[in-house]
Structure 1
Amino acid sequence: MFMLYQVQQTLADINKQKINKIMNLLKKGIGALLVIGLIISCDEEDEFTRVAPEASSGPGSSTTAVFSSFSAEASGDGTIVTVSPLTVGVDTYVVDFGDGSSPVTTAQGESTTHDYSNVEATADYTITVTTKADGYADIVKTQDITVDHTVESIDIAPDSPTGKLYNIFNIYTDSGYPIGSAGSGGNEVTLDSGNTLLEFSRLHSDTGVVELADEVVVADAFYNGVGAEVIHFDVYSDFATGIDKLKITLVDGTNTVNYEIDDLDLTDGEWTSFDFDLASDFSSPVSQFDSIIFELGATGTANDHATITVDNIYMPRTTGSTVINGDFEDGQDFWKWETFTDGETNPFGSSSDGSDFDIDGNDTGGKTRGAKWSSSQSGGEFRSSSSRYAYQELILTPGANYVLEYQYAIKDDSGTDPIGGRNVVGLILGEHFDDGADAVDSIGDNIGYHEGFIAEGKFSDTTDDFGTLVQIPFTASDNGEVAVMFYAVTPVDAYIDNVKVIAQ
C-alpha cells in the first residue's frame, strides 16, 4: 500500500520533507521504483525535468536526476533575493544571478541568497540554475525577475527654524509659516514625530528637484520691496549609502539662468546646515528662481543608492524699518500672532472703512481698507479672551531714532465709555515676544506710546476723510529689536490705517 500511495503523488506536491524521504529510499535500494512512479504520475512535461544516467553503470546508475523548479523570493530592501531549487538525485547546483556577479555553487537541498546592487530603483535580471550530478547531464532552468529596491529612510530630523511668524519665507519646513511657496519634489517621508522630510536617491546620475508653487523674486519675497538676503538648507547623508559632496542649483526658468554652488562638504551620518548669501555665494547674484536642484558634487563620490535627505529650505526676512502691509490691503497678513495664551491670535477685524489716503499720502478718492476694533475686541479696561492686538516685529539700527506714524478714527456713537474715554492705542516695544499674552503684559515697558481720544466718526466722517494723524518718536533698542503694537479701548468701532516707521 505504501508504494501504491507514492505512485499516485505528483511532483508538484513534493516538499523538502518528501525529498529527504526520497533520498533515504534511494540509499536503501528501492528508489528506482519510486522515481518511476513519480514519472508516471506527472502529466505536464514543463513541471519538471528528468535526465537518465549517461551510462548504465557507475555511481547513482540506479536513479534518475530530477529538477522540478526553483523559487526566487525577495526580502529586506527588495534587492536581497533567495533562490531555492526543488531537485532530486543531484549533488549540487550552480546559481547565476544574472547581474555579472560570480555564480554560486550550493549543495542539494540548500538555498542561496544574493544582494543585488541598489544603484537602480528597478532592474530586470535572468536567474539561471544548473544542477550537477555525478554521471548525469546538467539540467538548466531560468527565471526572469524584477528587483525593486526600497530605500530605508532615516528616522531623525533637524530642528525646525526658530524665526518668528512672518519672518520666514517657507519653501519647505514643518513650522507652518504662512509666507512662501510650498515646495514639491522628491520622496516625502513622514517620521513618527510628524516631521516631514524630502528624500532624493540615485544621485550617481539622477538629480533631485524641488519645484516651487510660485516663482520667488528675491527682492520682493515677503512683500513689495521686502525681500531676503540668505537661503538656508539642512541636508543629511550617510556616506556608505549616499554622497559626500553636494551641488545646489537655483533655477530661473523664466530667464533660463542657473545659479550654482558646487562641492559642498557634507557630514557623514549627520545633518549639515548651510546658509548661503544670495548675492555672493552662488555663481552669480540670485534675482529670482522657481526650482531647486540637488546633485552629486563635481569631485564627490556616490555609494550604494546615493541618497540624501533634505529639510528646512527657507529664507529669513531682510531686516529693516519697512512695516509690511501697513495699509492693511492684505487684511491681517504680517500682523497676526502665532501664539497667544488664553487669548485671540487674530489681530483685528478687517474693514473697508479705512482712510481715503493711501500709505504714500495720496488721495484715492474713496475709502481704502483698514484695521477695525469693535467693543468685544477691545483691550485695556475691556480686556478679555476675545481682545485683539495687532503686532509686527522689526529689526532696526540699534540706538537710531525713528518715528512711528499712523492715522486713526473712532466712531462717535453712544456707548458706555471706559474711564478717561474711548481711545486707540499705538505703541513700540523694545523687544520681540513669542506669546501675545507676554507682550500685552509688557505694554507698560514700551519705548514709545500714544493714546488717541478724538472720536469724530469713521474716517469718512472726519475732516478730509483723513482721520487723526499720530507720530510717535522713539529710539531703537540696543539690539535693534522693536515691535509695533495697536489696540482699541472703546464701546464702538475704532480704526487705524497707513502704519509706517520712518528713520530720522
Structure 2
Amino acid sequence: MNLLNKGISALLITGLMMSCDDDEFITIAPVESSGGTTTSVFSSFEVESNGDGTIVTVTPLSVGVDSYEIDFGDGGSIVTALQGQSAFYDYPNIDASADYTITVTTKADGQSDIIKTEDITVNHTVQSIDNAPSSPDVKLYNLLNIFTDASSFGSSGTGGKAVVLESGNNLIEFSRLHSDTGVFALSDEVVAADAFYSGVGSNDIHFDVYSEFATGINKLKITLVDSTNSTSHVIDNIDLTDGEWTSLDFDLSTDFSSPVVQFETILFELGSTGTANDHATITVDNMYMSRMIGSTILNGDFEDGSDFWKWSTFTDGDTNPFGSSSDGSNLNYDGTDNGGKTKGAKWSSSQSGGEFRTSSSRYAYQELNLTPGASYVLEYQYAIKSDSGTDPVGGRKVVGLILDGQYDDGADAVDNLGDNLGFNEGFVAQGKFSDTTNGIGTIVQIPFTANSSGEVAIMFYAVTPADAWIDNVKVIQLP
C-alpha cells in the first residue's frame, strides 16, 4: 500500500514497465496492425508524491491500448483517458486520512480488458495561515486572557492545533468542522461575575476568527459549556468574512441562548445553516473577556500580597510594587475594627522613590475603567515611622495620586506623575499603624473627576529614610 500526503502536496501515480506482482508483463492475444502483429501490454503503476498540489494524476504506460477506465475508489464517476493521456482527480478532503483502491482497466478493440489495482492511503494535511490579528490593546488587569498574546493574567486552556507564526504570535486551528467539533478546554472555570476578582467581573467575550470559505466554513456556532450546571450557552450562524479575520464581540447576558453565568469549555462548530468545504478549517485568536466598568479596587486591603498592583514592565526599574507587611491598619476593609493589625503595603528606605529613586524603587499601580466625567474619591490610610534618618527635602512622605491615563511601562508613569487628576503628599510620621490613634494611621481622601475615556490609574510610592505603609485603598463614586 502506498501512503500519500495530500493537501499541500500533490499525488502523482505514474506507470512503470513492470508487473506489480511478479515483474512480468501481462499479455493478451495479438491484434493486427499496419506494422504487423501488436500485443497489448499494460504494466503496473506505483504511487509517488511530488509535493506540488492536491491533484492525483494517473498516467498508465502500455502498448496496444485504445483507452483506460480509471476508478479512483471513492464512489465517484469513472474517468476515461485515451492512450498516452493522464487522468486527474482531487480526493475529497473531509477525512484526515482515508484508504482508497485505484482500479485501471484497459480498453482495446478486439481484446480482453486488463485490470490493475493499487491500494493507497491519503493523509490530507491542512496548510496553516501566515497572518494574525493584532493583540488586544487592553491594559494590565483589565483583560481576562483566555487565549491571546497580550501580557495579562487569566485562564489558559488547551484545544485545537497550535500554530506559531514567525513573529511569535500564537494561533489555534480547528479542522474537519463538517464532522468534528473544535474544543477549547480552560484550565479553570470562569465565573462571569467574579472573572477578575470577587465581585469584579465581565459581561462580554471576544473572539477573532479566520476562515477561507473554499477550505473552511462560512457560518460559525460557538457554545460556552458549564459542566457544573449541565448548561450550554449557544450562539449560532455567526457570519464570517471570506479570507479575512472576523472580530466578534458578544454580550454574555443577551447574545447567547441563555445568560452566561459560568463556563469552562468553548466549542467551535459549523453553523446550522452554514456550508463546510474541503478540510473545513478555522483559525482562532484573541479569546478574552474585558473587565466591566467600575471603581472597585482589586486587593485593596493587600490580603493577597502584591496581586493586582504589579507592573508587567518597568524599564530600568523594579516591577514589584512594594514589600509585604503584617503591620497594616487595625481596620478591616469594610471599616470594622479588627482588634489588631491587618496586612498592608510597605516601603523601606531602599524602596523609596522621589529624591531616593534608584533602580530598586517601587511603585504600586492599578488601572481602573471608570464612567467618563463622573466624580470619585480615592481613599486610603497611611503611616510613616518617626525613626531618625536623613529626611528628603520637604520631609518624609507617602504619595497617592490618580494618573490621567494608563501606562504599559512603569518608567513612563513615573516620568509623568505630574499628569494626574488629583494627588496627596502625606507627611504625618507617627510610627507604625499600631503606634497611631486607634491603629488606623492617617486617612486621606482625594476627590477627582474621571477623564473623557474613563481610563485612569491609581499609584502610590513613598519617599522616606524609614518604613512607610498604606492600607484599605478604595475608590468611591460620588452621587
> TM-score normalized by structure 1?
0.84
- Tell me the amino acid that sits aligned with residue 403 of structure 1: V
2:138 corresponding residue in structure 1: 163
2:127 corresponding residue in structure 1: 152
- Specify which of 50, 53, 69 is matched with residue 26 of structure 2: 50
Structural RMSD (CA): 2.8
Shift of the alpha carbon at 1:489? 0.5
Distance in 2 separating the partners of 1:485 and 1:95: 76
2:387 corresponding residue in structure 1: 413
Distance in 2 separating the partners of 1:78 and 1:292: 34
1:139 corresponding residue in structure 2: 114
Shift of the alpha carbon at 1:312? 0.8
Residue 47 and residue 493 in structure 1: after superposition, are their counterparts in 2 closer, same or farther (change >3 A)? farther
- SS of 1:473 mapped into structure 2: strand
- Specify which of 55, 59, 78 is matched with residue 103 of structure 1: 78
1:69 is aligned to 2:68: no
- Tell me the amino acid that sits aligned with residue 145 of structure 1: I
- Specify which of 235, 238, 259 is matched with residue 261 of structure 1: 235
Which one has the bigger helix percentage?
1
Shift of the alpha carbon at 1:469? 2.4
- Specify which of 63, 69, 75 is matched with residue 94 of structure 1: 69
Q: Which segment is superposed worse, 217-226 or 406-415? A: 406-415
Residues 448, 472 of structure 1: 8 Å contact kept:
yes
Residues 293, 371 of structure 2: 8 Å contact kept:
no
- SS of 1:51 mapped into structure 2: coil
Distance in 1 separating the partners of 2:407 and 2:276: 45
1:395 is aligned to 2:369: yes
1:488 is aligned to 2:450: no
Identity rate of aligned residues, in percent? Answer: 70
- Tell me the amino acid that sits aligned with residue 263 of structure 2: F
Shift of the alpha carbon at 1:49? 4.8
Per-residue CA deviations over 1:440-488 (Å, capped at 9, x if unaligned) read 2332343322222233333344444433322223333344333211001
2:102 corresponding residue in structure 1: 127
Residues 15, 44 of structure 2: 8 Å contact kept:
no
- SS of 2:253 mapped into structure 1: coil
1:423 is aligned to 2:423: no
1:194 corresponding residue in structure 2: 168
Residues 79, 115 of structure 1: 8 Å contact kept:
yes
- SS of 1:268 mapped into structure 2: coil
Residues 249, 294 of structure 1: 8 Å contact kept:
yes
- Tell me the amino acid that sits aligned with residue 149 of structure 1: H
Distance in 2 separating the partners of 1:466 and 1:77: 76
- Specify which of 149, 155, 170 is matched with residue 174 of structure 1: 149
Distance in 2 separating the partners of 1:87 and 1:471: 95
Shift of the alpha carbon at 1:354? 2.8
- SS of 1:450 mapped into structure 2: strand
Shift of the alpha carbon at 1:181? 0.7
2:291 corresponding residue in structure 1: 317
Per-residue CA deviations over 1:271-330 (Å, capped at 9, x if unaligned) read 111111111111121111111112122222222222211111111100111011111222
Residues 41, 63 of structure 2: 8 Å contact kept:
yes
Residue 136 and residue 483 in structure 1: after superposition, are their counterparts in 2 closer, same or farther (change >3 A)? same
1:4 corresponding residue in structure 2: none
1:334 is aligned to 2:305: no
Q: 1:267-282 maps to which residues of 2 (within 5 A)?
A: 267-282=241-256
- Tell me the amino acid that sits aligned with residue 355 of structure 1: S
1:368 corresponding residue in structure 2: 342
Residue 115 and residue 60 in structure 1: after superposition, are their counterparts in 2 closer, same or farther (change >3 A)? farther
1:379 corresponding residue in structure 2: 353
Q: Which segment is superposed worse, 386-395 or 70-79? A: 70-79
Distance in 1 separating the partners of 2:52 and 2:461: 59
Residue 133 and residue 229 in structure 1: after superposition, are their counterparts in 2 closer, same or farther (change >3 A)? same
Distance in 2 separating the partners of 1:353 and 1:129: 87
Residue 292 and residue 237 in structure 1: after superposition, are their counterparts in 2 closer, same or farther (change >3 A)? same
1:27 corresponding residue in structure 2: none
Residues 15, 60 of structure 2: 8 Å contact kept:
no
Distance in 1 separating the partners of 2:294 and 2:410: 22
- SS of 1:223 mapped into structure 2: coil
Distance in 1 separating the partners of 2:250 and 2:113: 65
- SS of 2:22 mapped into structure 1: helix
Distance in 2 separating the partners of 1:445 and 1:187: 46
2:326 corresponding residue in structure 1: 352
1:343 corresponding residue in structure 2: 317
Residue 206 and residue 273 in structure 1: after superposition, are their counterparts in 2 closer, same or farther (change >3 A)? same
Residues 225, 231 of structure 2: 8 Å contact kept:
yes
1:475 is aligned to 2:449: yes
Distance in 1 separating the partners of 2:361 and 2:296: 26
Per-residue CA deviations over 1:343-374 (Å, capped at 9, x if unaligned) read 33332223333334331123445543322222
> TM-score normalized by structure 2?
0.88
Residue 143 and residue 368 in structure 1: after superposition, are their counterparts in 2 closer, same or farther (change >3 A)? farther
1:225 corresponding residue in structure 2: 199
Q: Which segment is superposed worse, 104-113 or 382-391? A: 104-113
- Tell me the amino acid that sits aligned with residue 458 of structure 1: K
Residues 15, 43 of structure 2: 8 Å contact kept:
no
Structure 2 segments unaligned to the other structure (5+ residues) = 1-13
- Specify which of 57, 61, 66 is matched with residue 82 of structure 1: 57
